[in-house]
Chain A
Amino acid sequence: MSEDIVKIKGSKSGLQLSFAEDASYEVIRDDIQEKLASGSGFFLRGTLVQIPRDVFTTSEREELQKLFHEHGLICRTLSSDTERTPSAQVRKDVRQEQQEIRAESARMQAETQKAQEMVVVNRTLRGGQEIRTESSVMVCGNVNPGAQIIAGGSIDIRGTCRGMVHAGAFGDNTAFIIADHLVPTQIRISNLIARSPDQMEMADRAERASVKNGQIVIEPIER
């Protein structure tokens, strides 16, 4: 039954959602929430979700976008091909935003690409240098003190990490950070922050930082 309220279709750029004609917004929202909470394999972190533009009002759309965002998904609206008969309220919105659609779709294209790529940095990041991306990052080199990585996804450093690293910067709690030597000035995952102890000892194994029970935990890993 609930299968029919929200239909998920995989497309080249991400997931495309369509909704049962007669379902109310509240029902749709609850259904999406349930699907997200169930941790279905569909909703991988960083996936682009597209919802038809003219089905919801602006405020409803914003609420949905927030919902997806909390689960690490990127939500974009899409002008649907089959023109439905929108309510007066919606029609007004559509007219207002009609001009923006073209600009947004270009922007969307760029972001879609970003979300799916993994940024590979093939050098040492030195003090003052910064990587800022919505996707995951792999660094083949060191991250020196004063350098910053801010990634929407996870961070993998094949070298020593001494800088500031922020994984899951857009709210992804499942993001993690791996480094051969993990001695950063600060680790941030999602909205959690951990700083290094004042007396740092160097572990001789690769380590992984992730969120467990609302805390950033660092544990040695085999690599």
Chain B
Amino acid sequence: MSEIYVITSGKGGVGKTTTTANLGMGLAMRGKKVVLVDTDTGLRNLDLLLGLENRIMYDLIDVTEGRVAYKKALVRHKKFDNLFLLPTSQVKDKMSVNPEQLVKLCDDLRREFDYILIDCPAGIEQGFKTAIAAADVALVVTMPEISAVRDADKIIGELGRADKENIKLIVNRIRPQMVESGDMLNMEDINDILSLDCIGQVPDDLTVVTSTNKGEPCITMEDSQAGQAYRNIVGRIMGEDIPFMEFPKEGFWARLKHVFSK
């Protein structure tokens, strides 16, 4: 039973690609066979976050246009041999792939992989429509910030229009201190507007920056707060073979507050 996730947000810079890389690696660490598909054609970054840029031979466009089989374009990760990246082209643009092509590709990938994570470009145009076409589940990433929440709301509406009903929320880059002092939207404010099932709350963490630059997602770092949050999300995703899993709100938050108040 393979599942296709699309990681999307509407607004840029909220951490779609970071989330994709971390969740992909987290699922691979748990022994699942995972492929990450970058659909941000022309502005690809996922390969950088995974440190795989220098290993790319073929890309998504080569596959969808039938020049090579998808197996040839997959890049195996250095450390985890059950984690693959299907990079996209840096020279073409988003019109080069259409939704039907991606659906067909994902149908092929489904046979081979447990989890297919699609990294969606920012915006609501063609690139977005292509990226969500094949998805079973949409993970909407947002930040505790009014513009990011607005854009997430819009994206959820667009997903609904495309008949994607299984939508989960990940709130990224939370600064617990600012939330506590009332300078940042809290989870209640966000829930009021988005009213979505939340499966992750990730704190803003410097290790994300350093890990991005090193090409090693922070989920591998034992002492990273954000890494721990991503590991929790991976657990929730895997637990969701049983539907309607409740998001455990306590525990995680209490721990988080505790750490920050030291």
Contacts and interface: CB of A to CB of B under 8 A. Distances in A.
Dominant SS at the B interface? helix
B153 interface: yes
Interface of A: 123-129, 142, 144-146, 160, 162
B188 interface: no
B154 A162 contact: no
B192 A127 contact: no
A162 B146 CA distance: 13
Interface of B: 150-151, 153-154, 156-158, 160, 192-193, 195
Nearest to A144: B153
Contact of A146 (B154, B160, B192, B195): B154
A97 B153 CA distance: 48
Contacts of A127: 150-151, 153-154, 157
A126 B192 contact: no
A145 B150 contact: yes
Top 5 A-B pairs, shortest CB-CB distance: A126-B157, A127-B154, A127-B153, A128-B154, A126-B153
A46 to B, nearest CB: 28
A12 to B, nearest CB: 36
Contacts of A125: 157
Contact of B153 (A123, A145, A160): A145
A133 B153 CA distance: 23
Contacts of A145: 150, 153, 193
Nearest to B193: A144
Nearest to A160: B192
- Interface core residue of B158, B160, B195 (most chain A CB under 10 Å): B195
Best-buried of A128, A129, A142, A162 by chain B (most CB within 10 Å): A128
A158 B150 CA distance: 21
Most A-side CB within 10 Å, residue of B150, B153, B158, B193? B153
17 contacts: A125-B157, A126-B153, A126-B156, A126-B157, A126-B160, A127-B150, A127-B151, A127-B154, A127-B157, A128-B157, A142-B193, A144-B193, A145-B150, A145-B153, A145-B193, A146-B153, A160-B192
